[in-house]
Each structure stands twice: as C-alpha cells, then as structure tokens.
C-alpha cells in the first residue's frame, strides 16, 4: 500500500477535497441483483488449503459508525505439531488510544492524513465460545498497552489434521479514517475489522505462530479460506465487498441484508456509501474468459472512475498474461471521496482495492491515478495469491509488485509514458525519485522486517523503490525473457501458499540458470547497494608539457603552445557495497561521444582523454542497466547547452518543485 505515488496523490487531492459537493439527503437505493457467478472464475476445485474459513453476520450503524457482529471461525491445523493456544489479530485497537504501537509508530499521521482528536476506533470482543463453552475471560492481550493481538489458551490442544470452531460476538467502533479503515462523513471503508487468526509458519513439526502486533509499517498475513458474510446496512447505502453477491433481502426499517461469498481468499473488506455509483467494464483473458471490473465512485468523480476502470482492465489482462490468470470473476475498485482519499485510498484486499489520485492536476496523460490503480490491482497477485508475510518481508510483496507494475505500465502505455503531457514524456519513477530522493537514511538491508525500520520513510525507500531497482538490475543482467519466465514460474508454483524471499530467490536462480547468491547477499541482505556518482570532471586546453627541460648541458624553456584540443579528466566513484561493471559515456561539445568501461573493482576510477572538442557531459550507466541506483545521480553536466536528457531532468526538477509547493512547509 504505502508508496510514493499514493503520498503524492494524497497531497494533490487536498485542494479538490476543499471544494465539496452537496449530494442531498441519502435516498433508498435499488436492491442489487445477485451476481449469479461462482466465487472462483469457472468454478473448479479449491486453489488453497482453506484452513481458515469465516462465517460472519454484521450490522452497520451509519450514525454511530459502529458494527455489531457474530463470527464463526473454522480452523484446521495443517501443520505437524499440536496447538495449545490460538492468537487473534484485533487490528482496530490500533486506533484505540495513543498507547498502541500503531499510534506510537505513526504519531497519528499517514501519507498526509491525520487522526481525528475525537474519531477513535476499537474492537470489543464480548463473547468467545468453543463447543458452546464461554471462554471470553481466558482471552487476553499479549500486550496490555497495544491490544492488537489477543491469545486464547485451549484446554485441549488441536492435533495435526484436526479442526476447531471458535465463535465470537464483537462490536467495532470505526475510527475516522486516516489509515486504511474507517469512516469520513457518510463514507465507510471497512477493513481489518474482525478477529482474525494468525498463521502457523515454519518447518513441519516445528511450526510457530506468526501473529505480530500492528505497526504503522506492517500490513497483513493470514491463511486462505472461504468467507460467507452477511452485511446488514441501510437501504440508502451502496455496498461493495470482497467476493460475489449471493443474495440481497430488504428488511423492515429501511434496512437491507447482503450476503457475500468468497473462496480462496485471506481477507474480507467492504465499503458502504449512499452516493457511490458503479462504472463497469470487462477484462478479457485467454480462452475467451472474462473478469468484470467495477469501479465505485461518486458522480463528481466520473471522469476519474473511467480512467481507473480502463487502467484496471489493462492491469488484469497484462498481469494475467505475464504471470498467472486472475482466478476470481470480479475485481472491485473503490475510488474514495476526496475528503477520505488520503486515508482510505491506495489499499489492497482480495478482489477489492481502493485507489486515488483524483485531482485537478492529474490531466489526461499524467497517469498517476492509473498507476495507483495498477499498483493496487497488482497486489491481487503479489499478496492476494502470493500471500507472503508482509510484517517480516514487506519487500516480497510491495517491491516485487512495483517491479511488475513497471512492466505493466510500459506494456499499456509504452516506455516513458507514465507522463505523456504537453510534449513531456517521462517515467513516473523519475518524478518520484526527484520529489522523494533516497530517504532510507539509516542504512538497512532491503530484507529487513517492516517493523524494524526506523520510520516509514526508510521502510518505503527499501521495501518499494530499492527492491524494484534491485529486480530491474537483475533483469538487465540476466535478460528480460529469462527474468519474466522465472517470475511466471514462481507465481504459478507459489500461488495460494505463503512463499518467502528464499523461495523467490530459488525460483529466480532456477529460471535464469544463474548463480545469484552473491548478488542476493550484497543487494538484499546487506546494507548498501550501488552508489555511483561523478566525483569530478574537468577539462583544460591541451598542450605539450611546459617548463624547463634539459637539452644537453643547457636548460631550455618550453612554453607548450596550445594544440587546439582538450585534455579532460573524469573520476567516477561507487561508494556502495555492490560493485558491478558499468559503462561511462563521455559527451562532447561537438555532439560526439565516447564510452569507457569500468570493471567495477575498487571504489573509484580515473578516466583521462584528449579530444578536439570539450567534454560537456558525463553519463554513468547510459543504458540503465543498473536500475538499482537512482538514474537521477547518473547525469553530470559539465558546461554548455547539454543534451535532451538534461532538459528532461530539468523538467523533472520543475515538476518536483511544483509538487513541493503544493505540499507546503
């Protein structure tokens, strides 16, 4: 979820949010028809173990922003060791008070959105039963201050292969949204809202529970299952949810119950809003199969809703062709109202994501809104199906997804078409790098647990941008064809499982036929990376050596008249820990150029050259092989008019300055 694109979008949307719209009082909405499709596209057998399945009945009070609910969890021990306690995530307690780890690590702010002084949120479990026996007094928080994880000790262990049912009754108080879930006015985005069991991880027979508390930088990790969820809401509200709509029934008092079914998913999220409209389209996959794409947005956001819809269609088609087919029949995209976008936008759940970027500044051709949609839809592959542990290995979802997003953006819009506006063409990543330079700060390996980073800036730099660069560099080294084939094999082998980083590395090594251990160790597991820079570049008129020289018994003065050419010296450096070969392109005032190669050994290299024209520009890695390093540090202008790339860099700088002016102090 957390990335530079969403942060920029949050900043730009503030102006639009200030405008407001009067939609009038909510009116009763037409009762929706059931979807009439199976929860899995084309039906078929289960794709996952389905060892954590939920049946939930919930009722939303739109005035108090509360949910009263009952839940029955059916959990199977698919490991090789007995289980004597069950841990549960209670994510909404992150918004309960300033003692929660989420609050302490976010300071009540995320991506430009800030917590309300009055809009606190929490989850209260009133009942926990197994076999009809009340156990709520045994349920205890693992951290009394944090309260986002609770543990239930068992009188009788659950043996390998056995199944247990746990029934809950609970009440949610939704927070005023500033981070993923909550309400804003009439809009309700409901995520991470029910007691969710942790995951047993580790070698067979030596499993342990993975159920970490909720930090600002940690997202989610859960097992696959089925979800049967009945939502009772006012009939004035439109609802969108994970899965397919099975039935809809009107009740007394202008209430309505909507029943959803989802299969082979590890979460369930939903939206309720009285003013949303649906904009639909169709993604076409191989064998004439289709996926319905639905974008929910308010009427004033219609133009952006259509852009999000088209981007989502393209994303589903390209991700399916490049990696593995999308397995569900529907993809739902929520475009939050502008006043809720900073908090609720840019988040992923199975078959349902939220997007953002709706702003007067996002003219057609400036594809930040499209990019956010593509990124969030992509999570249905690199988290929805490849359910890695985001707390421990956020990069395995976020960064790998960023790498895949870059491919999809190029396939849909062409190279350097992230922005194609008023004659300016550029990659969005260049703008991101200009606006948010490397903010890793305290050096940390990419493969650092999300909660172990010093702050969200360091987390974002490593888990998103640097991971994407590391994979793009590897792709340049092994070849795009081999890299894509290896990633496709990885996706197919590990879908509906819980892959780790080592599983990805093994798949890449096997698929590319390369020994990647050294590269992986340097780039992912150690501090540092490639840090190329032009240390110095000078030119002086060339002339023979001057001074006093021996001529037999005499000393002669040589004045060394200038020859009309130039003697130039360039020193390039790599202060990172990763040292690989790199090309250096020298560009001269007469339009000519010359390349020199550096084997990468050592921390620096001196290049000396004499030419008839003066050196005006030094470009490191001109073919962008080393995406691992920021390309904005690779272009050093000496003097003169420069080249087109410099003019593009100037435009990027201008764009960045504009964004920073919008952000303000």
pLDDT in tens, 339-356: 998 899 999 999 999 999
The reply to whether 545 and 499 lie within a common domain is no
State the DSSP string of 404-432.
Answer: HHHHHHHHHH-TT-SEEETTEEE-HHHHH
Tell me the CA end-to-end span of the chain in Å, nearest whole number: 25
Report yes or no: 566 and 541 within 8 Å, Cβ to Cβ: yes
Of 126-135, 141-150, 261-270, 614-623, least confident by mean pLDDT is 614-623
CA 586 to chain CA centroid, Å, is 37
Residue 52 β-bridge partners: 75
Please state whether beta strands 122-130 and 163-173 pair in parallel, antiparallel, or not at all (unpaired). Answer: antiparallel
CA–CA gap between residue 49 and residue 586 (Å, rounded): 57
pLDDT in tens, 503-539: 999 999 999 999 999 889 888 988 766 778 899 999 9
What's 97's domain CATH number? Answer: 2.60.40.1730
Q: Which of residues 95 and 581 earns the better pLDDT score?
A: 95
Q: Tell the residue number behind the tokens 């954590």, with chain if given.
A: 52
Report yes or no: 505 and 388 within 8 Å, Cβ to Cβ: no
pLDDT (0 to 100) of residue 433: 65
Report angle CA 56, 62, 64 to the nearest 5 degrees. Answer: 100
Measured CA to CA in angstroms, residue 465 lies from 272, 388, 438, 489, 660 at distances of 33, 19, 9, 24, 20
HEC profile for 530-592?
CCEEEEEEEEEECCCCCEEEEECCEEEEECCCCCCCEEEEEEEEECCCCCCCEEEEEEECCCC
Report yes or no: 476 and 20 within 8 Å, Cβ to Cβ: no
Q: Which phi-psi region, left, alpha or beta, contains residue 132 (left: φ > 0; alpha: ψ -120 to 50)?
A: left
Query: Residue 566 corresponds to which tokens in the numbers above?
Result: 């130039």
What's 615's domain CATH number? Answer: 2.60.40
The reply to whether 198 and 264 lie within a common domain is yes
C-beta neighbour count of 147 within 10 angstroms = 22
pLDDT (0 to 100) of residue 538: 92
The reply to whether 493 and 550 lie within a common domain is no
- The set of residues, in sequence order, having a beta carbon less than 8 Å from that of 658 and lying 6+ positions away, is none
The reply to whether 167 and 196 lie within a common domain is yes
State the DSSP string of 229-244.
Answer: EEEEEETTSEEEESSE
The reply to whether 233 and 297 lie within a common domain is no
Last residue of a domain, one of 476, 492, 527: 527
pLDDT in tens, 558-579: 777 888 899 999 999 988 777 7
**Cα Rg of the chain (Å, integer):** 28
pLDDT (0 to 100) of residue 646: 40
pLDDT (0 to 100) of residue 141: 98
Measured on CA atoms in the order 492, 217, 358, 654, is the torsion positive or negative? negative
pLDDT (0 to 100) of residue 641: 40
The reply to whether 432 and 389 lie within a common domain is yes
Last residue of a domain, one of 481, 511, 527: 527
The reply to whether 470 and 612 lie within a common domain is no
Last residue of a domain, one of 467, 502, 527: 527
The reply to whether 451 and 488 lie within a common domain is yes
Range of the domain at 221: 27-274
What's 337's domain CATH number? Answer: 1.10.390.10
The reply to whether 546 and 652 lie within a common domain is yes
Q: Is 294 helix (H, G, I), strand (E, B) or coil?
A: strand
pLDDT band at 11, cuts 50/70/90? Answer: low
pLDDT in tens, 590-631: 999 999 999 888 899 999 999 999 999 999 988 877 766 554
C-beta neighbour count of 554 within 10 angstroms = 7
Number of domains in the chain: 3
The reply to whether 64 and 5 lie within a common domain is no
The reply to whether 40 and 131 lie within a common domain is yes
Report yes or no: 233 and 60 within 8 Å, Cβ to Cβ: yes
Q: Tell the residue number behind the tokens 């490593």, with chain if given.
A: 462
The reply to whether 410 and 488 lie within a common domain is yes
């Amino acid at each position: 979820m957390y990335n530079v694109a969403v942060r920029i979008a949050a900043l730009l949307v503030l102006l639009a949010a200030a405008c407001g719209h009067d939609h009038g009082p909510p009116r009763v909405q037409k009762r929706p028809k059931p979807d009439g499709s199976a929860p899995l596209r084309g039906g078929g057998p289960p794709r996952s173990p389905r060892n954590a399945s939920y049946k939930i009945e919930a009722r939303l009070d739109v005035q108090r922003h509360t949910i009263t609910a009952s839940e029955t969890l059916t959990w199977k021990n698919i490991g090789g060791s007995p289980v004597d306690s069950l841990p549960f995530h209670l994510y909404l307690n992150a918004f309960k008070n300033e003692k929660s780890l989420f609050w302490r690590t976010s300071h009540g702010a995320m991506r430009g959105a800030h917590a309300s002084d009055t809009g606190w949120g929490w989850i209260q479990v009133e009942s926990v039963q197994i076999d009809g026996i009340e156990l709520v007094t045994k349920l205890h928080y693992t951290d009394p201050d944090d309260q986002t994880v609770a543990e239930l000790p068992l009188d009788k262990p659950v043996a390998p292969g056995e199944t247990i049912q746990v029934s809950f009754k609970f009440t949610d108080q939704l927070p005023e949204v500033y981070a993923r879930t909550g309400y804003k006015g009439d809009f309700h985005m409901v995520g991470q809202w029910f007691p969710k069991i942790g995951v047993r991880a580790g070698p067979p027979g030596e499993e342990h529970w993975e159920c970490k508390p909720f930090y600002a930088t940690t997202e989610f990790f859960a097992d696959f299952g089925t979800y049967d969820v009945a939502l009772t809401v006012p009939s004035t509200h439109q609802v969108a949810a994970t899965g397919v709509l099975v039935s809809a029934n009107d009740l007394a008092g202008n209430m309505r119950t909507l029943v959803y079914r989802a299969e082979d998913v590890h979460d369930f999220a939903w939206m309720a809003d009285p003013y949303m409209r649906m904009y639909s389209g169709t993604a076409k996959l191989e064998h004439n199969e289709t996926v319905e794409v639905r974008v929910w947005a308010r009427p004033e956001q219609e133009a952006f809703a259509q852009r999000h819809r088209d981007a989502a269609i393209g994303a589903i088609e390209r991700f399916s062709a490049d990696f593995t087919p999308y397995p569900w029949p529907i993809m739902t995209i929520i475009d939050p109202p502008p006043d809720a976008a900073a908090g609720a936008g840019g988040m992923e759940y199975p078959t349902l994501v939220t997007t953002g970027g709706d702003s007067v500044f996002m003219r057609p051709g400036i594809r930040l809104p499209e990019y956010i949609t593509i990124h969030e839809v992509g999570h249905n592959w690199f988290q929805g199906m490849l359910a890695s542990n985001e707390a421990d290995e956020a990069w395995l979802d976020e960064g790998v997804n960023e790498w895949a997003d870059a491919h999809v953006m190029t396939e849909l819009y062409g190279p350097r078409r992230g922005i194609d506006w008023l004659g300016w063409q550029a990659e969005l990543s260049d703008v991101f790098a200009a606006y948010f330079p490397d903010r890793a700060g305290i050096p940390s390996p990419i493969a650092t647990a999300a909660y172990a980073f010093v702050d969200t800036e360091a987390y974002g730099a490593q888990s998103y941008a640097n991971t994407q660069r590391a994979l793009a560099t590897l792709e340049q080294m092994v070849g795009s064809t081999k890299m894509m084939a290896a990633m496709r094999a990885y996706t197919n082998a590990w879908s509906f499982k819980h892959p780790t980083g080592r599983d990805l590395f093994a798949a890449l090594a096997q698929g590319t036929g390369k020994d990647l251990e050294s590269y992986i160790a340097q780039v992912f597991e150690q501090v540092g990376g490639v840090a190329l820079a032009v240390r110095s570049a000078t030119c002086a008129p060339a002339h023979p050596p001057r001074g006093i020289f021996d001529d037999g018994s005499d000393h002669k003065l040589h004045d060394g008249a200038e020859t009309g050419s130039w003697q130039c010296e360039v020193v390039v450096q790599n202060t990172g820990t990763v040292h690989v070969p790199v090309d250096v392109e020298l560009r001269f005032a007469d339009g000519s150029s010359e390349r020199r190669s550096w084997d990468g050994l050592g921390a620096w290299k001196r290049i000396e050259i004499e030419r008839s024209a003066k050196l005006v520009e030094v470009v490191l890695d001109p073919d962008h092989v080393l995406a691992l390093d920021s390309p904005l540090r690779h272009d050093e202008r000496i003097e003169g008019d420069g080249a087109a790339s410099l003019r593009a860099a100037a435009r990027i700088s201008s764009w960045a300055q504009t964004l920073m002016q919008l952000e303000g102090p």
